[in-house]
Amino acid sequence: MKLERLLAKHDSLGRTRARLHILAGRVRVDGVVVLRHDLEVDRFAQVEFNGELLRDTERLLHFMVNKPPGIVSATRDPEHRTVVDLMNDPDRHCLHIAGRLDRNTSGLVLLTNDGRWSKRLMAPDAKVPKVYRVETRDPILPEAVDEFARGFYFHTEDLVTRPARLEILGEKEARLTLHEGRYHQIKRMFHRTGNLVVRLHRESIGGIALPADLPEGAWRPLTEMEIAGVFDSPAIL
């Protein structure tokens, strides 16, 4: 919403008077005097008029959920339970998901109402690493490590996947680090090696790891350190 419009609604000032007040330097946005009546202010901006808070900063929300398999990674679904249905925070219905998982995948899901944060987190060039634990139907061959590092050509998107790090943990078990999130990406990658994913679990996103003491189906707010630190983890390759 434009600043002039926001101010005009206050005490029914009207647009002309609102604009004059802005030009007279009586309005601050996030503590700074703003003279531009057409400035776009988002719902998180703190706007002051004559030194009084016009509209308080909205509560910025950041949560993690330990998603069980079978729960949909969406805010609403006509048929299935969603990650939001697992929560009971009063503001849960204004959240969006920062990085979905398939219905049968388990593990870390982040939810927020902070569009700037999630946009930054999901930006393709942010290259925030996402770490998954994978179980497969057939043995994972040692040459798969190089194949994942080289990338796979995805015909539908006409692209080669970014180098991914595959650590073989057992005959049919691996840890995989991706720096992107394409549709069914891990299942498609393993399929290209002639294998099949039978279980998939997300362990971490950037600097945020699913805590061992957060049971499946449980959720909690992120700490300040997690909110800021999610971007800090270096690309792991």
Question: Residues with catalytic annotation?
Answer: 102
> Which of 66, 118, 185, 195 forms a contact with ligand URA (CB under 6 A)?
185
DSSP label of 203:
E
Would the CA dihedral through 168, 196, 181, 67 be positive or negative?
negative
Residues 190-229 as x/- pattern, contact with ligand URA by CB under 6 A: ----------x-----------------------------
Residues 112-151 as x/- pattern, contact with ligand URA by CB under 6 A: ----------------------------------------
Residues 191 and 204: beta-carbon distance below 8 Å: no
Q: For residue 105, state whether it binds ligand URA (rule: CB under 6 A).
A: yes
Q: For residue 66, state whether it binds ligand URA (rule: CB under 6 A).
A: no
Rounded to whole angstroms, the maximal C-alpha distance in the chain is: 72
Helix, strand or coil, per DSSP, at residue 90 = coil
Task: For residues 61 and 66, give the distance between their C-alpha atoms in angstroms, rounded to a whole number.
Answer: 17
Nearer to ligand URA, 58 or 102 (CB): 102
Distance in Å, CB of 195 to ligand URA, minimum: 13
Would the CA dihedral through 147, 231, 216, 112 be positive or negative?
negative
Stretch that binds ligand URA, among 19-27, 52-60, 112-120, 181-189 (CB under 6 A): 181-189
Task: For residues 198 and 68, give the distance between their C-alpha atoms in angstroms, rounded to a whole number.
Answer: 15
Site of interaction with ligand URA (CB under 6 A): 101-102, 105, 184-187, 200
